[in-house]
Amino acid sequence: MPASPLSLAVIGGGQLARMMQQAAIGLGVHIRLLAEGPDVSAAQVIPDHFVGDYTNIDDLRRAVEGSSVVTCDHEHVPPEHLRTLEAEGHIPRPGPGALIHAQDKITLRTELDELGVPSPRWVVAASVDDVVAFGLPCVLKTPRGGYDGKGVWIVRSEADAAEALGADAVLVEELVDFRRELSAQVARRPSGETVTYPVVESRQENGVCKEVIAPAPELAAALADQAQQIAIDVAEALDVTGMLAVELFETNDGRLLVNEFAMRPHNTGHWSIDGAVTSQFENHLRGVLDLPLGPSTPTARWSVMYNVLGGAIDDLESQVGVVLAAVPEAHIHLYGKSVKAGRKVGH
Ligand code: ADP
């Protein structure tokens, strides 16, 4: 089948792919999905899906048949497989050379130092002695595969350090005394055009994003400009295409330090579906398909995004009417996921 300019392969069937489909419907983009199971969030709404394993190159090859451009719902596709697809004539966006910085936190820290982008002090530790020499308290992280705070340890003692090292958390970072966490997003297309989104504040609970306020309240204009410029500089230096989110700490003494990147739509940009002229999902599709980007201008003075995390209530649908009665201007997005404690099931 010849590749249509408006067809796109998406690897991974989570809520981000599901929300990409919402944008794809309007643009007339055909998405072919590689889903982890027949009932995962995005497979419920994308008819052209097949079930496979994103770590298996043959499954990936089947997923990209008929699409030249390939994008991902998550960061876990092996970089060597993306390079194989590239060698076979497909176009992963973002490319594997960029995506590695969202996959591997040591590669990320090394690159940020080379680019002169401010980030927490760090080392790689081989032993408890190395961690102690760095200085306690500190933060230990697994370089790959972590999400929602899994793979992050706050280390205050030698025993904590031994436990974290035992779980392969070898990246040591200073424990940043931050005032709050911010996120700066930019959309970029291969031709170089970029559009930045307003810098937002994200509030976490137990390492999981709970609430996002757009724009970040009372953020000094100079810091907002600096955060957006960091996002543009990184997107250009690494040749990121589609959406890039830069997660930042605003320190108590008024500095910005980069925590990490996501090279896809991000939880801190969900507000843009209902609160901006062009959502992050639409600009991700426009970016990876090299279509002109849309403005990120907010449509309201403030937008607040609140994650629905699995908890006391199993039957979310029974609450839809209750929430809409209480807050008629709220927009509900449920992900079609089974409810488990702490799992993101909607926003
Ligand atoms: P994940 O890949 O799981 O999202 P992060 O590196 O974003 O991991 O860390 C999860 C959370 O842990 C952050 O949102 C932040 O609240 C906290 N955290 C991470 N790194 C540091 C640090 N160096 N100092 C203080 N807190 C940190």
User: Do 183 and 319 meet the contact criterion of CB atoms below 8 Å apart?
Assistant: no
Give the phi and the psi of residue 323 in degrees, each rounded to 5.
-65, -45
Maximum distance among all alpha carbons in the chain?
59
Atom of ligand 1 nearest to the CA of 209: 14
Minimal-distance CA residue to ligand 1 atom 8: 149
pLDDT band at 285 (very low <50, low <70, confident <90, very high): very high
Check whether 302 has a pLDDT greater than 80. Answer: yes
pLDDT at 47: 97
Minimal-distance CA residue to ligand 1 atom 10: 149
pLDDT at 146: 82
pLDDT at 3: 58
pLDDT at 311: 87
145 lines ligand 1 (CB under 6 A): no
pLDDT at 317: 87
137 lines ligand 1 (CB under 6 A): no
246 lines ligand 1 (CB under 6 A): no
Check whether 106 has a pLDDT greater than 50. Answer: yes
How far away, in angstroms, is 39 Cα from ligand 1 center?
31
How far away, in angstroms, is 295 Cα from ligand 1 center?
30
Check whether 1 has a pLDDT greater than 70. Answer: no
175 lines ligand 1 (CB under 6 A): yes
198 lines ligand 1 (CB under 6 A): no
Q: Is 255 helix (H, G, I), strand (E, B) or coil?
A: coil
pLDDT at 202: 98
Residues 239-249: what's their mean pLDDT? 98
Select the more confidently predicted residue: 13 or 5. Answer: 13
Check whether 99 has a pLDDT greater than 50. Answer: yes
pLDDT at 136: 98
302 lines ligand 1 (CB under 6 A): no
Residues 316-340: what's their mean pLDDT? 94
Residues 303-307: what's their mean pLDDT? 98
How far away, in angstroms, is 2 Cα from ligand 1 center?
43
Q: DSSP of 306-333, one letter per residue?
A: E-EESSS-S-THHHHHHHHHH-TT----
pLDDT at 314: 80
Q: What's the half-sphere exposure (Cβ side, CA atoms, 13 Å) at 89?
A: 6
Check whether 337 has a pLDDT greater than 60. Answer: yes
Atom of ligand 1 nearest to the CA of 257: 23
Minimal-distance CA residue to ligand 1 atom 15: 207
pLDDT band at 313 (very low <50, low <70, confident <90, very high): confident
pLDDT at 96: 97
260 lines ligand 1 (CB under 6 A): yes
146 lines ligand 1 (CB under 6 A): yes
Average pLDDT, the chain: 96
Q: Which of 136, 152, 249, 256 to mutate to test the pocket of ligand 1 (most atoms within 8 A of CB)?
A: 152
Q: DSSP of 161-227, one letter per residue?
A: HHHHHHTT--EEEE---EEEEEEEEEEE-TTS-EEEPPPEEEEEETTEEEEEEESPTT--HHHHHHH
148 lines ligand 1 (CB under 6 A): yes
> In terms of pTM, does the model score above 0.75?
yes
